[in-house]
Chain A
Amino acid sequence: MPHKWTIWAGSPPAVFFPHQRPPRNRTRATRQSAIHGSVPDVLIYVIANTCSFEEYYPQKKKNPGGPRWKPRYLAALLPATDQWVIPVLCTEVNAFGTIPVLVSVEVLQSCFLEDWSSPLGLSNSKRFMAVTQFEERHGKREARRRAMTIRHLLERKGQCLWTIGPNTTVRDAICRNG
């Protein structure tokens, strides 16, 4: 049975699996241990939109005795399109079913229509996937299809608008814009 969490805005950041620092590389041994059911070597940190990473990190620096994990292992989620609640189901499919995992920025970007930029450059965890409530309801294909919007395309492409007035002659317009 997959795990499911709901993070309410306004509540303090919820921490899941704050146990150990993940290894730099997942070796064969760690994969084996995962298969045999030891504690997964990943963790999830979900920050509600009321507490951004920038707000959180200075507090963390002032509190060295606090959580041991490094910022690069954190994942921050912004709210879904029309609600302040962030329903996210994060799972890794492996030999013994599904386990909670760190969600990559790319996955988040593909799951949520909201703009999201990473303060951390979390582009790891390529093996993992996140399943939103939308995906559960409408299927992964539909969710992925919806995620690729024109807004994303424009952001990547950058803005460059070539305009003219209706009374300009064709030649003038083209020469001016060219």
Chain B
Amino acid sequence: MPFAEMADKNVGSLLVMDDGKLVGIITERHYARNVVLKGKTSLTTPVKDIMETNVTHVRPEQSVELCMALMTEKRVRHLPVLEGSEVIGIVSIGDLLKFILSKKEADIGQLEHYIQGDGWQPVRK
């Protein structure tokens, strides 16, 4: 099962690039729906037949919350990040959650320090 390899590597999506341009995206969901459920075989099916061509993307300066809202609205779990027309990365819903959780933990830590009055702890180099 080829997608088992993707699972091993924790890769849930692949960007389809043609001449350096983003033309589509293929995820485990596309594979399941367009290959497995339709009785096609991955040996002969080209990626362009099953990929999503209407790719929702984000820009790097956009906020994490906006990204989350976009994922919820469009029902996608992966968003390519484009700077101009260049793909500079991809974010998954797991990445966003991890990032938000770490930020919240930091905030909570700061509040705890403030409430407990632990004081100023200079960093010793």
Contacts and interface: CB of A to CB of B under 8 A. Distances in A.
B2 A166 contact: no
Nearest to B112: A126
> What range describes how many residues of B lie at the interface?
35 or more
B123 A123 contact: yes
Contacts of A152: 64, 99
B121 A25 contact: yes
B73 to A, nearest CB: 16
The interface centre, meaning the residue of B17, B47, B90 with most chain A CB atoms within 10 A of its CB, is B47
> What range describes how many residues of A lie at the interface?
35 or more
- Please classify the interface of chain B as helix (H, G, I), strand (E, B), loop, or mixed, using the class held by over half of its residues: mixed
A157 B95 contact: yes
A150 B60 contact: yes
A20 interface: no
Contacts of B117: 31
A108 to B, nearest CB: 14
A124 B121 contact: yes
B17 A149 contact: no
Contact of A164 (B2, B15, B118): B15
A123 B106 CA distance: 12
Interface string A157-178: 1010111111111110111011
Given A106-B106, A178-B6, A167 B88 contact: no
Nearest to B81: A150
A62 interface: no
B58 to A, nearest CB: 6
A161 B89 contact: yes
B3 A174 contact: yes
Interface in B1-24: 2-3, 5-6, 8-9, 11, 13-18, 23-24
B46 A153 contact: no
5 contacts: A145-B65, A159-B88, A163-B17, A164-B16, A166-B48
Interface of B: 2-3, 5-6, 8-9, 11, 13-18, 23-24, 26, 31, 35, 42-48, 50-51, 58-65, 67, 81, 87-91, 95-96, 99-100, 103, 106, 109-110, 113-114, 117-123, 125
Given A73-B122, A159-B88, 13 more contacts: A25-B120, A124-B120, A127-B113, A150-B89, A151-B60, A153-B95, A161-B15, A163-B17, A168-B47, A169-B47, A170-B47, A170-B50, A178-B5
